[in-house]
Amino acid sequence: MSGIIFFKTLMLEEIRKFYLDEVGCTLWLEQADCIIFKHGNMLFGFCTRDSADKEGMITFFYDNKEDVDHFYARFKDIAYSEPSYNDKYKIYQFFAHDPEGRAIEFQYFDHAVSTHRDGRQLLVSRRSVRKFKETVIPEDILFRLFETCRFAPTSMNRQSYYFKIINDRAVLEKLSDIRGSSSKPIANAPIAVAICSDPRLTKRLEQDGCIAAYHFLLAAWHYGLGTCWIAAMDRDDVKEWLNIPKDHYVATITPLGYPEKLHVATPERKERDYFIRE
């Protein structure tokens, strides 16, 4: 489901040029005397009428401060002031106006928000996060996260995977010590999650477990939570600490929390053709 906010305008052509060419919105739909733009998950439209709506504010927000600065450089002439931090809302912002005098705002949230990302953005922006804020993950976010994780594919739909939430600090410390720097991220997070599968339900233990784990990583990112695949946790001592039967498979144990930094640089990726073989 979605929605659109419409504004009346007296200058549809100028509005079209401004929001498409200057702000970088995409054209979602054009019909008769109306244009509808898309910016992230925001749909907003303008229709030619005999007066113009100029109340309210259209806010465009970005994943980083640099984007706000970039737009300020572009819109210096129509900006009301330079970008600045607003402590009340913990945002970085500046205001300007569109060609018809409508107030617009460019901002960056200087704290974690669950930003809208389309499917591609979700896939390409997920990063391995190794440092976390101490912020407690709200119960309703955990509820929604695990609710989303019910939909991972499994061999013959046997749904053999399950999650163990680890929030005992002593256990987190023990787990984080077992593989030197590779497992350290576990103790940096408020909680960790072991993603396991049960051999009584499937013959495809590893596949079910690993797919469920990656599904979890992506679902967590959707809710603004960072994760990191920690390998080689399918060990007897780990199972003992977590009360997991010896014959079950532990795909990974990932730390889970709000990333310390919202933007972690993408490690180098090869070009597309490298991954396609004849």
Contact with ligand FMN (CB under 6 A): which of 138, 165, 231, 245?
231
CB of 167 to ligand FMN, least distance (A): 20
Output 101 or 180, the one with its CB closest to ligand FMN: 180
Contact with ligand FMN (CB under 6 A): which of 6, 72, 75, 229?
229
Range in contact with ligand FMN (rule: CB under 6 A) among 30-38, 62-70, 100-108, 225-233 = 225-233
Sort 208 into a burial class: Cβ within 10 Å, 0-12 / 13-18 / 19+: buried
Q: Per-residue string for binding with ligand FMN, 58-97, x by CB under 6 A?
A: ----------------------------------------
Of 79, 101, 72, 108, residue with least CA distance to 7? 101
Strand partners, 164: 194
**DSSP state letters, the chain:** ----EEEEES-HHHHHHIIIIIS--EEEEEETTEEEEEETTEEEEEEE-SS----S-EEEEESSHHHHHHHHHHHGGGBSS--EEETTTTEEEEEEE-TTS-EEEEEEESS-------HHHHHHH--B---B---PPPHHHHHHHHHHGGG---GGG---EEEEEE--HHHHHHHHHTTGGGTGGGGGSSEEEEEEE-TTT-S-HHHHHHHHHHHHHHHHHHTT-BB--B-----HHHHHHHT--TTSEEEEEEEEB-BSSS--PPPP---GGGG---
239 in contact with ligand FMN (CB under 6 A) = no
Site for ligand FMN in 135-194 (CB under 6 A): 182, 185
CB of 166 to ligand FMN, least distance (A): 16
Q: Per-residue string for binding with ligand FMN, 95-134, x by CB under 6 A?
A: --------------------------------xx-x----
Output 30 or 206, the one with its CB closest to ligand FMN: 206
Output 39 or 215, the one with its CB closest to ligand FMN: 215
Range in contact with ligand FMN (rule: CB under 6 A) among 25-33, 112-120, 222-230, 240-248 = 222-230
CB of 79 to ligand FMN, least distance (A): 35
Contact with ligand FMN (CB under 6 A): which of 79, 145, 212, 230?
230
Residues that bind ligand FMN (CB under 6 A): 127-128, 130, 182, 185, 228-231, 267
